[in-house]
């Protein structure tokens, strides 16, 4: 029953969990913003940096849509993605506040999710680029490129996207483990 009942607000375990979440958010967000600043300053003006030719590259991309460029041509999509991000962050903060199970898997996952969401939100709100024929657009800096097959590349992504994916996987595993631990 421990996971079903909210812990009192003053318990040190809640404070510890929230501190862990905040630490992961700060570290993840700092890594994301620093890497995007590097990509903006270095990769935008230079050819791709081939770390492992045909496998792993750093190459500048400016995504005005969401994952895989979804809705990149819809000017209104920026505000939809901002709203979705804010709702998602509010939801995972609620989960973090109410979480009473032990361990740091779920709090770490929540920190990764929030850090990744805030990193891409920052770009959607503040990063602009003049795009030929479209004028100035807001978007997200992407720069990590993997090739999953010779000459077939996965769409460019960024550190925030890695944080979001890792956070989702960890959250699913953590929730599954907590569910299994509850008495039937």
Which residues are designated catalytic?
142, 161
The rounded radius of gyration (Å) of the Cα atoms in the chain is 19
Residue whose token pair is 């077939």? 152
Q: How many CB atoms lie within 10 A of CB 126?
A: 8
Measured in degrees and rounded to the nearest 5, phi and psi for residue 142 equal -120, 150
Contacts of 30 (CB under 8 A, 6+ apart): none
Report the alpha-carbon distance of residue 69 to residue 84 in Å, rounded: 16
Burial class from Cβ neighbours inside 10 Å (0-12, 13-18, 19+) for residue 175 reads middle
Determine the distance from the C-alpha atom of residue 74 to the mean position of all C-alpha atoms in its chain, rounded to a whole number.
22
Structure tokens at 5: 């009942």
Q: Report the first-to-last Cα separation within the chain, whole angstroms.
A: 10
DSSP state of 157: B
């Amino acid at each position: 029953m421990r996971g079903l009942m909210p812990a009192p607000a003053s318990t040190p375990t809640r404070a510890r969990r929230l501190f862990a979440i905040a630490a992961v958010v700060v570290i993840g967000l700092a890594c994301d913003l620093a890497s995007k600043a590097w990509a903006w300053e270095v990769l935008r003006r230079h050819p791709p940096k081939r770390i492992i030719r045909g496998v792993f590259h750093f190459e500048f991309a400016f995504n005005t849509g969401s994952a895989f460029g979804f809705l990149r041509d819809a000017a209104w999509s920026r505000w939809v993605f901002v709203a979705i991000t804010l709702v998602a962050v509010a939801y995972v903060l609620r989960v973090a506040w109410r979480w009473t199970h032990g361990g740091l898997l779920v709090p770490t996952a929540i920190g990764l999710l929030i850090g990744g969401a805030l990193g891409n939100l920052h770009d959607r709100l503040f990063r602009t680029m003049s795009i030929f024929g479209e004028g100035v657009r807001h978007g997200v800096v992407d720069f990590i490129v993997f090739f999953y097959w010779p000459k077939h590349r996965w769409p460019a992504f960024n550190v925030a996207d890695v944080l979001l994916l890792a956070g989702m996987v960890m959250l699913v595993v953590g929730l599954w483990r907590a569910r299994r631990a509850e008495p039937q």
